[in-house]
Amino acid sequence: MFSISFFIGLVLIGIFAGFASGLLGVGGGFLMVPLQFFLFTSVGVDPSLAMMVSLGTSLAIIIPTASSGAYQHQKKNKSIVKPGIRLAIFGILGGFCGGIIANIVPSGILQIIFAGLLFIVALDMSFGYRNDGEKALIDFNILNVAIVGFLIGIISGLLGVGGGIFLIPTICILFGFSLIDAIGTSSVFIAFTAIGGLISYIYTGLGVNPIPYSVGYVSLINFVLIVMFSVPMAMVGAKLAYKMPEKRLKQIFAIVLIYMAIKMIGFDPISILLGF
């Protein structure tokens, strides 16, 4: 069923998604989901099944990939661990709920809302009046942490991403985190939060997914090959994050946010370039 080009594609996904995960503190799902979808449909997998397996497998890959990036970040910045875990406690529950919702309710309206939010945040990251690490708008207390962690977790499970793409600007703006602290905290957060979404995709996909060597909506072939390259590349990206000027990191992150916003409203540049 799978050709050599399919396996080469998985290797390339691992390299690019892993590097993005470590550098930007995101799970890399924004790359893994559309690219896996392309590979599956190119070998004849039904598009609806291809999407669900791409989402579930992406969450499985995010766990070890983000963990390797988080390990590298905490070597440079010990302060990221506690806030990352506190947010993740509620994010795991949100991720599970998001995965269930994705299997039941069409997410078109939510995608439009999220896209609008991403455009606003991207503009704020590029031209906003708030300086990096400025005084927090709200306190980092248990109630606010629970609300933010749970909501970002729902987004994670719903869209098959780690949630860092939303968490980072949120904690920068609301809690006054610096961008580099937010990236490190996000790496810790998504390593845990993806677990909730993964469980729901395995559960809802049991007895449904006919793709060989899969568990629920998780392809074991994709998981193994991508992780082999995404884990070491996440460590490379995390190291580079501390050598790159903060302003340049903001610019890169803003570009990623805009890409995600465009993708959510149905125009995926990667998909268009690849012809699907």
Encoding tokens for residue 184?
């490190």
pLDDT at 127 over 80: no
Instruction: Please report the DSSP string for the chain in residue order.
Output: ---HHHHHHHHHHHHHHHHHHHHHSS-SHHHHHHHHHHHHHHTT--HHHHHHHHHHHHHHHHHHHHHHHHHHHHHH-GGGHHHHHHHHHHHHHHHHHHHHHHTTS--HHHHHHHHHHHHHHHHHHHH-SSPTTPPPSS---HHHHHHHHHHHHHHHHHHTS-SHHHHHHHHHHHH---HHHHHHHHHHHHHHHHHHHHHHHHHHHTTT--SSSEETTEEHHHHHHHHHHHHHHHHHHHHHHTTS-HHHHHHHHHHHHHHHHHHHTT--HHHHHHT-
| Residues 185, 253: Cα–Cα separation, whole Å | 15
pLDDT at 198: 87
Picking from 157-166, 182-191, 261-270, which range would have the lowest pLDDT averaged per residue? 261-270
Q: What percentage of the chain reaches a pLDDT higher than 70? A: 80
Angle at 103 (CA atoms; ends 102, 109), nearest 5 degrees? 40
> What residues does each domain of the chain span?
4-268
Average pLDDT for 10-27: 82
Q: Are 168 and 184 in contact (CB under 8 A)?
A: no
Taking only the tens place, the pLDDT of each residue in 174-187 is 898 888 888 889 88
Average pLDDT for 120-124: 68
Q: What is the pTM of this model?
A: 0.75
Average pLDDT for 150-179: 81
pLDDT band at 90 (very low <50, low <70, confident <90, very high): very high
Average pLDDT for 97-109: 70
